[in-house]
Amino acid sequence: MREHWEWKDCVSMAYTNDVKALQQWPIECRDVSLQYLKTSHEMVRNLLEALLGNLGVELDDSKIDTFIEKKMVNMNFYPTCPNPKFMVGVGRHSDMVPEDVDMEKKGEWVEIPPIPGALVINIWSNGRYKSAEHKVRTTSTKSRVSIPIFTNQLPTQKVAPLPQILVKKNGVTHYREFVFSDYMNSFFGKHMM
């Protein structure tokens, strides 16, 4: 059962190549979205390299690229809401958290005011980094926009904790290996109900 109804408009644009993006993405936002995605690529690679390095994992460039081969840009518009008490921009969730993680732990929500130029990064890593549970609230006074970029593996790639450090260091694999498309189908199947 939903906690609240979502109050937003969203356009999701999957990226395969420039030609398809220019042909298929909405003309009103395709050029700026494509530029945004391209300029973020190096930042995403650098963040991934730093996060892996912090875990003691060094991968060559080709292996790092396999983690971010599939890209998507979402353009989320949260209009002013006449009744924010009963609506949310996006309901509570943790991005792509495996099914055995306890999402029922309840605590007090902390409002994080937007900071111009700041980044929010959600990842998963056999429990070493946590994907924070979050939601987007609505307001009756102003509309807002968010433009997240999602990078993932190809749908056919197998995903599992990296043995170099995540498993060897503490000897425990918290999540089983799976084909990425199977996981995505399971995740979105559960969250669309």
- What does each of the 193 residues of the chain score in pLDDT, given as a tens digit? 445 688 999 999 999 899 999 999 999 999 999 999 998 888 888 888 888 888 777 777 777 778 788 899 999 999 999 989 888 888 777 665 544 445 455 667 777 777 787 777 766 665 666 667 778 888 999 998 888 888 888 888 888 777 665 555 666 777 778 888 887 787 666 554 4
- Judge whether 2 and 93 are in contact, CB under 8 Å: no
Q: With respect to CATH, is domain 9-95+114-153 assigned 2.60.120.330? A: yes
pLDDT reported for residue 101:
47
Euclidean distance between CA atoms 9 and 7, whole angstroms: 7
- Of the candidates 190, 106, 80, 94, the one whose C-alpha atom is nearest the C-alpha of residue 135 is 94
pTM metric for this prediction: 0.71
Q: E strands of the chain, at which residues? A: 5-6, 9-15, 70-78, 87-93, 134-137, 144-146, 149-152, 158-159, 178-179
pLDDT reported for residue 14:
92
How far is C-alpha 165 from the chain's CA centre?
23
pLDDT reported for residue 1:
41
Euclidean distance between CA atoms 163 and 27, whole angstroms: 44
pLDDT reported for residue 167:
57
- Dig out the tokens for 168 from the structure: 């060897």
- Judge whether 9 and 77 are in contact, CB under 8 Å: yes
At 44, the amino acid letter reads V
- Dig out the tokens for 171 from the structure: 């000897």
Residues 84-110: b if buried by 16+ CB within 10 A, e if exposed: beebbbbeebeebbbeeeeeeeeeeee
pLDDT reported for residue 193:
42
